[in-house]
Structure 1
Amino acid sequence: MRAAAEVDPAAARPRIHFTPQANWMNDPNGLIFHDGLYHLYFQYNPLGADHGNMSWGHATSADLVSWREHPVALLFDEHEQVFSGSMVSDAGNTSGLGTAEHPPLVAVYTSARRDGLQAQSLAVSLDGGYTWEKYAGNPVLDRGSADFRDPKVFRYAGADDAYWVMVAVEAAERRVLFYRSDDLLSWTYLSDYGPAGAVGGVWECPDLFPLPYVSGAGSAAGVRWVLLVSLYPGGVAGGSATQYVVGEFDGIRFVPDVAHPCVDADAAELDGLDWVDLGPDCYAGVTFAGLPTGQRTLIAWMSNWDYAKRVPTSPWRGAMTMARRLALRCVEGRARLVSTPVLGREAGVLEGVPAGGSVDDVLPEAARIDLEVDGAAMAEVRLGDAERCVVVTVSGAERFVRVDRRRAVFEDVSDAQGVQRAALPAGAVQRVTIVVDNGSVEVFAGEGLVAVTALTSLPPAPGLHLTATGAVRLGVAELGDSGLRGAGLGGSGS
């Protein structure tokens, strides 16, 4: 057994979650897979560790685990801050902003103007996403609104036509708006969706994408569309969170499979809605452009607006979740979103834990813990020590997973933000993966149906104590091979 490291947790940089070298970071922006690399742009303050001066930072990865940070891509100026948005590869040069030989990457972002209004603007890159020029004709879509933001643009191919679709929000009205363009420059209104579902806060960071749907019998059942909408406050665990709706999109309007009425932020019905993650620290999640439909991949900001500005890290503040592959599966007769973390390696060897027995060890700084809990068994995993710990409980008999971080937070949080309990689908065995890194725990259960993400104040390389009742199997694997992995420390430049 290795000795636990004596390191100040506030100074321990995550090893497998992206963080910038320094300064404030929040929403992921402009996610795209292009020329063999995953490009992650993100809301960034180039001048300090507090929210402000919003610009787009930039990092790239070949595997979604090890990241290299680059110079700021889109910088705020005297006219605007550069708020959230998305990116497309204009392969056909429909915009005329590149050439047939050198088609452009086009970033679509929200101009947060000095007059308090928000509108949608463009920037263009002709070198694969490393240097950018703002479009001289900005903004390209202006509603004269103070809350019109977060455009997600994608190419829609209908039976007779193909065109660009923009999905954006009127945040305070809790509405998602859909627009069409042939050239990314001129936009025509199509329809809107909402208010519906969780409406206890403003709506932000929408995304809309198709996913193959697997029926209850395990056979392919066509394609459904998934609409993501983040909101703050009013999340299922308190503060900020991301809900999703499954339905049909015909190129004009989105129609949900199950219509949810508007639900007040304090109502118990929040638990009955569909959430990308049931934890407190997974917000503004969006997916990568440029990947096949069956490889839809999401990254989210790993924090919560209730306390994001007070997270005690230095010289950076803000981290991203692990990337997650998304799929749809039939659960109790309807399509539900499932996610699988992209970790860079498979599970460790699973070994049985004697019934009524226990396991004690010290984890590496970044670890993957895999559990198999038989239907009549229970496992309790304590990460840390008796005084400062996160406890993950898995019950096969009662079919639930519970994550309790109340003794490993950096300041007071509500019980809802300190403890999450989720029901698990029926199964002879419950399989759970716990991803532990400096400053966070991510739990995946129910064959991907349940995800719980939570920031923690655990020390690096925390202790692991497992107690088992009934048949339980455990595997532990180290993640990451150097302090540079996922830490944004790979240097600058293209």
Structure 2
Amino acid sequence: MTASTASTAEKYRPSLHFSAQDTWVNDPNGLIYHDGLYHLYYQNNPFGNVWGNMSWGHATSPDLLSWTRHPVAIACDENEDIFSGSIVFDKENTSGFGTSESAPLIAFYTSAYKPGNARHGIQAQSVAYSLDGGYSWSKHSGNPVIDRNSPEFRDPKVFRYSSAETSYWVMVTVEAQDHQVVLYKSENLLDWQYLSTFGPANATSGVWECPDLFELPVDGGANGSKWVLVVNLNPGGPNNGSAGQYFVGQFDGTTFTSESTVTEGRSDNERLNDYQWLDWGRDYYAAVSFGDVPDGRRLMISWMNNWEYANQIPTSPWRSPMSLAREVTLQTIDGAPRLVQKPAFDPKNELGSTQNFGLDSVQLDDEVRVLDQAGGAVQRIELSVTPGTANEVGLVVRGGQAEGTRIGVNVEQSALFVDRRNSGESDFHESFASLDKAPILPLNGSYELTIFVDHCSVEIFAQGGSVTITDLIFPSPESIDLSLYATGGSAQFSNVDVVRFY
């Protein structure tokens, strides 16, 4: 089944984002490109739309936009829940699970052992394998493959490390409560040797989860390469609740050394703006990257929700979408390599559109202007804003008589923000209505924004993707107005381009 427009019964069902048919979704798992398709596995409750009965759901896509849902891939049983993990293609059959006709896909997942099992209360790393391209899976009879006798040891991300001297598999895991990333190596994906531990570092107000480690060229390779370590955090994000942070540094095959750890002696809360965040919004969590992507691109996807209110968001019968897939690169910003993100695809090319709206330039002076014929529920909006004397500039999406989501820049505070306090349905949880901010500076006096609006979300890519904010919203289906505004003075809006889908 492909992405669909919202119906009366499912008014918040996204069109540009993946959602399950009628069950619960959280962390993306096992992301891999294989046999011409992107495979998205994910934490799934096959029996309901709240967290529980953790298993791996499965969907595939040729373009990261239109998804086909498949039966549950790896199911929980009476002994264990199937927590988060990753998949590799063992093309050399180092594991021995393959046949002469078929090299295996190997899934690594966290076994969360249930009451009645001898390991009850323990989390350990286990293996399953597939010989049919990822559609059916068999658990390894020798599970678990790593057991530290720990209750909070989880989320294995496995990749192949290669240098001029050697090549082997590396597993990146976390001891969640200890704020530590723990690394192992293996020749055969089954027998693992401890390498090193990283952390605690930077944000530690919540547990560490869902790590990832990968190498990227800096400035397209002009300035060599660096390694990026991603660690998701819950709670303790820059705007409360769940979030993802990252570190930039070096990995020598044994140890990751961060070059972006903040060491000043202020408290964690005072340093939040100094840390490197994948996204500054409330609803971008458990982000991990795909393996084996063509052309070596690094693509990531996240769970678009927040553990503060995840079980309460008003979607039915499904609950929780995934984010748009993003391509991440390293670019030098203010003298240091930083992640820059952009959508992995252009939905206009993939989906077409039902409406295009363009505006070369408009000057506003302490006013709001509704853009007639530009409204919509599912849109990509691009524009440049140059403040004159205005102290706040921006736009309102999904506007109606009594609601709207404000996306703007507070010029005096150098802050990009999403204000969803009047965005629609928000009383399902006390912490949902929020004003979420990210630090931002003008480029040549202007702010460049690309915004994706869907039936239940906004994703903002600012200044070429160096700053992003992702937030859920739940507006009335009738609220589709789009307007620009300037507060306290003048501002110029230029190169306004709006594409409405479906």
The TM-score with structure 2 as length reference comes to 0.89
Counterpart in 2 of 1:472?
A: 493
Is contact 1:199-1:264 (8 Å) kept? no
| Partner SS state of residue 308, structure 2 | coil
Q: 1: distance between equivalents of 2:482 and 2:31? A: 35
- How far 1:375 sits from its partner (Å)? 5.8
Is contact 2:282-2:436 (8 Å) kept? no
Q: 2: distance between equivalents of 1:134 and 1:151? A: 16
Q: 2: distance between equivalents of 1:263 and 1:126? A: 52
Counterpart in 1 of 2:186?
A: 181
Match of 1:366 among 374, 378, 384: 378
Q: Give me the CA root mean square deviation.
A: 2.4
Counterpart in 1 of 2:117?
A: none
- What is the letter of the counterpart of residue 373 of structure 1? V
Q: 2: distance between equivalents of 1:316 and 1:30? A: 21
- How far 1:382 sits from its partner (Å)? 1.1
Task: From the superposition, tell whether residues 6 and 314 of structure 1 become closer, same or farther in structure 2 (CA, over 3 Å).
Answer: closer
Counterpart in 2 of 1:241?
A: 243
Q: 1: distance between equivalents of 2:265 and 2:253? A: 27
Counterpart in 2 of 1:382?
A: 396
| Partner SS state of residue 470, structure 1 | strand
1:287-320 residue CA offsets vs partner (Å, 9 max, x unmatched): 0001257410000000000000101111011110
- What is the letter of the counterpart of residue 465 of structure 2? G
Counterpart in 1 of 2:65?
A: 65
- What is the letter of the counterpart of residue 126 of structure 2? S
1:357-396 residue CA offsets vs partner (Å, 9 max, x unmatched): 7343463331101111236476421121252211011467
- How far 1:9 sits from its partner (Å)? 8.8
Matched, 1:410 2:412: no
Q: 2: distance between equivalents of 1:145 and 1:61? A: 36
Counterpart in 1 of 2:18?
A: 18
Q: 2: distance between equivalents of 1:367 and 1:93? A: 45
Match of 1:419 among 420, 427, 436: 436
Q: 1: distance between equivalents of 2:125 and 2:137? A: 16
Is contact 2:44-2:57 (8 Å) kept? yes
Q: 1: distance between equivalents of 2:432 and 2:12? A: 26
Q: 1: distance between equivalents of 2:433 and 2:444? A: 27
Q: 1: distance between equivalents of 2:16 and 2:315? A: 16
- How far 1:276 sits from its partner (Å)? 0.1
Counterpart in 2 of 1:160?
A: 165
Counterpart in 2 of 1:106?
A: 106
Is contact 2:273-2:439 (8 Å) kept? no
Q: 1: distance between equivalents of 2:266 and 2:314? A: 32
Is contact 1:195-1:262 (8 Å) kept? no
Q: Which runs of 5+ in 2 are unaligned?
A: 115-119
- How far 1:413 sits from its partner (Å)? 4.6
Q: 2: distance between equivalents of 1:6 and 1:224? A: 42
- What is the letter of the counterpart of residue 476 of structure 1? V
Q: Which runs of 5+ in 1 are unaligned?
A: 482-494
Q: 2: distance between equivalents of 1:151 and 1:305? A: 21
| Partner SS state of residue 370, structure 1 | strand
Counterpart in 1 of 2:471?
A: 454
Is contact 1:327-1:337 (8 Å) kept? yes
Counterpart in 2 of 1:489?
A: none
The TM-score with structure 1 as length reference comes to 0.90
- How far 1:237 sits from its partner (Å)? 1.0
After TM superposition, list the pairs within 5 Å mapping 1:291-370 onto structure 2: 291-292=293-294, 294-342=296-344, 343-345=346-348, 350-356=358-364, 358-361=369-372, 363-370=375-382
Is contact 2:383-2:450 (8 Å) kept? yes
- How far 1:453 sits from its partner (Å)? 0.5
Match of 2:278 among 276, 281, 290: 276
Task: Say which structure, 1 or 2, has more relative contact order (CA 8 Å, 6+ apart).
Answer: 1
Task: From the superposition, tell whether residues 438 and 230 of structure 1 become closer, same or farther in structure 2 (CA, over 3 Å).
Answer: same
| Partner SS state of residue 224, structure 2 | strand
1:86-117 residue CA offsets vs partner (Å, 9 max, x unmatched): 00000110001003531100100000011010
| Partner SS state of residue 363, structure 2 | coil
Deviates more, 1:409-418 or 1:324-333: 409-418
Q: 2: distance between equivalents of 1:9 and 1:413? A: 25
Task: From the superposition, tell whether residues 264 and 76 of structure 1 become closer, same or farther in structure 2 (CA, over 3 Å).
Answer: farther
Matched, 1:431 2:448: yes
Deviates more, 1:456-465 or 1:163-172: 456-465
- How far 1:263 sits from its partner (Å)? 8.8
Counterpart in 1 of 2:202?
A: 197
| Partner SS state of residue 223, structure 2 | strand
- What is the letter of the counterpart of residue 27 of structure 1? D
Q: 2: distance between equivalents of 1:352 and 1:165? A: 51
Q: 2: distance between equivalents of 1:163 and 1:57? A: 29
Deviates more, 1:416-425 or 1:314-323: 416-425
Task: From the superposition, tell whether residues 7 and 164 of structure 1 become closer, same or farther in structure 2 (CA, over 3 Å).
Answer: closer
1:242-284 residue CA offsets vs partner (Å, 9 max, x unmatched): 0000000011000011333499986121111000000000000
Task: From the superposition, tell whether residues 429 and 396 of structure 1 become closer, same or farther in structure 2 (CA, over 3 Å).
Answer: farther
Deviates more, 1:401-410 or 1:338-347: 338-347
| Partner SS state of residue 143, structure 1 | strand
- How far 1:425 sits from its partner (Å)? 4.8
Is contact 1:424-1:445 (8 Å) kept? no
- How far 1:199 sits from its partner (Å)? 0.3
1:386-408 residue CA offsets vs partner (Å, 9 max, x unmatched): 52211011467975422111112
Q: 2: distance between equivalents of 1:53 and 1:317? A: 15
- How far 1:35 sits from its partner (Å)? 1.0
Query: Percent identity over the alignment?
Result: 47
- How far 1:159 sits from its partner (Å)? 1.7
Matched, 1:85 2:85: yes
